[in-house]
Amino acid sequence: MSVLVYVEQANGKFKKSVFEAVSYAKAIADKQSTNLIAISIGNVADSELKELGKYGASKVLSVTNDQLNSFVNQAYAAVIAEAALKESTNIIVLSNSFSGKGLAPRVAVKLKAGLVDGAVELPNFDGGFSVKKTAFSGKAFAVTNLTSANKVIALNPNAFGVKESAVDTVIEDFSPTIKSTDLVAIVKEIVRATNKISLPDAELVVSAGRGLKGPENWGMIEELAELLGAATACSKPVSDADWRPHSEHVGQTGIAISPNLYIAIGISGAIQHLAGVSSSKVIVVINKDPEAPFFKVADYGIVGDAFEVVPRIIAALKAHKG
Amino acid sequence: MKILVCISNVPDTTAKITFTNDNTQFNTAGVQFIVNPYDEIALSKAIELCEGGKGTITVINVGESVTDPTIRKALAIGADDAVRVDAYPRDAYFTAFQIAQYAKSNDFDMILCGRESIDYNGSQVAAMIGEFMDIPSISIIKKLDFDGTTAIIEREIEGGKEIVSVTGKFVASCAEGTAEAKIPNMRGIMSARTKPLQVIAAESIEELGKVTKFETPAPRGTVKLIAAENAEELINLLHSEAKVI
Ligand SMILES: Cc1cc2nc3c(=O)[nH]c(=O)nc-3n(C[C@H](O)[C@H](O)[C@H](O)COP(=O)(O)OP(=O)(O)OC[C@H]3O[C@@H](n4cnc5c(N)ncnc54)[C@H](O)[C@@H]3O)c2cc1C
Ligand SMILES: Nc1ncnc2c1ncn2[C@@H]1O[C@H](COP(=O)(O)O)[C@@H](O)[C@H]1O
């Protein structure tokens, strides 16, 4: 029995989180002494599909039906379930992306598979099949033991890392059955800010809060983020006041992220904010109040006025980059 | 128009998260429970859509009688009636199945959920309801317009948004931005006491897995403070010590 990984594409390209999911699925396949099969839906060039071999996919099922050009979770779930049955795979891995969250539960119900969303570690096979996932908005982890024959795992971005494990890859066309009743939802338009790094995928994040006083002061935050190649984020009151878009709001009621570096500027560190960011690998806090709770969970801290400190960091970074 | 809104009962956002019984159970001692914040957004959207007598709203919860105060809160915010499936919501698969069974025998135009429950953060229930009912499900939406037949929905994607249209029954899970959360007023609180709350029995479905243990994140070391004048040192540390830039 082999492992199937769904490789989500955007404009015919795979993102880092996809290679991560492939690396993770490959590690599971290795443990099971089996091979890894990937399934791609939509128009992706063979050269891009071949890339999946670098991370361990020995076969890629490519579905290029015109009716499936845009993502409709109902239809995509049917395709993935059909592929799982055809290839007799019993473990299905995908990224816990926005689309993945709409897809994994449907695949799981179709296959009567136990589902672990937001997985952060490889499964533990000792006496069963258990997977650790985030719970309570990052305040805890829950270890879930799956007892069903089929299993679906949605892997959190930036939790496992990309690991190369090159194998020869064959690309196979796969023509699934398509039911018109699975295509009731119609994608009308996709709007993507092409020049920005998306927050859930970002390895580095620069975030700011109410300490910045107003939206007009975000210039230095964006400049710092651009210099670092980081995404920008904000606290809830900032997006509530429309200083920044809701899609940047991190925390318990916003997006939960775990980048390698999280720089928090003028954010107090309320429990609901920390919930979404505390699993970041390194946290830097800049706050003028030495008593700000955020310092308790920070790795590096600067007590000072953001309007003086941030320009200095920008200058130091420019000097560092030469 | 008839709308079903799914409400989960979750620990308050400031609750201290601890576990008992050898870390196998969430410790509810002293914890206050609330309507899941995203479900308040879903309910508020339903209220907006029904404004001016355009429809009715039923809230549903899968839970034991301890969740009744949370259901009453939803009634106070503005739902017309409520259903509680009397069972411990052991996981999303079980919960979604119960909701789908109820929804199949009652003719709703749409089912609204929250984006995720803030305890298990599954983001699973909405899409599972869609699959059990074999109808479209749109996860993590930010906007919803409905003209009585077709819904135009904005869904979040990495670095942007997608606009989707659906005609016919559907499920959607609502994130921030979908609606402004409404606060109950005095009249709502008074009338909530007498609004109908129907309790129905759960149906059985196989168990596919369960949480066996909880862990809390390892505490971080103490913060290394850097003088405000010394931005170069921060850059150096991030580069050579933390190795993140
Ligand atoms: C149900 C619920 C859910 C919530 N969910 C979230 C969530 O998901 N995410 C979230 O972020 N919040 C959330 N909150 C809100 C949270 O409780 C806090 O109110 C919020 O995080 C505070 O945002 P802030 O730190 O930007 O602002 P404040 O608390 O006002 O803090 C501003 C900080 O900036 C510092 N400061 C001021 N001026 C300067 C300066 N010149 N230089 C440097 N520092 C300066 C101050 O010392 C202060 O620490 C939620 C609240 C509730 C009740
Ligand atoms: N026990 C429950 N009863 C009713 N609705 C629920 C329950 N649990 C979850 N939901 C709904 O499903 C959404 C997503 O929950 P989850 O999949 O647990 O993250 C919530 O925001 C609710 O709308």
Closest CA of chain A from B76, distance in Å: 22
pLDDT score, position A1: 64
pLDDT score, position B5: 98
- Contact of B211 with chain A, judged by CB distance below 8 Å, is answered with yes
B139/A246 touch (CB, cutoff 8 Å), yes or no: no
pLDDT score, position A161: 93
Per-residue CA distances from A164 to A45, A55, B91 (Å): 21, 5, 35
Those residues of chain B that have pLDDT short of 50 are: none
Residue A142 CA to ligand 1 centre (angstroms): 27
pLDDT score, position A235: 98
pLDDT score, position A198: 87
Residue nearest to atom 6 of ligand 2 (CA): B8
Residue A303 in 3-state DSSP?
A: strand
Q: What's A124's DSSP letter?
A: B
The pLDDT profile of chain A, 322 residues, written as one tens digit per residue, is 689 999 999 999 999 999 999 999 999 999 999 999 999 999 999 999 999 999 999 999 999 999 999 999 999 999 999 999 999 999 999 999 999 999 999 999 999 999 999 999 999 999 899 999 999 988 899 999 999 999 999 999 999 999 999 999 999 999 999 999 999 999 999 998 767 788 988 999 999 999 999 999 999 999 999 999 999 999 999 999 999 998 999 998 888 999 999 999 999 999 999 999 999 999 999 999 999 999 999 999 999 999 999 999 999 999 999 8
Q: Mutation target for B interface from A15, A69, A90, A115: give the one with most B CBs within 10 A.
A: A115
Q: How many CB pairs under 8 A join A and B?
A: 276
Q: Is B89 in the pocket of ligand 2 (CB under 6 A)?
A: yes
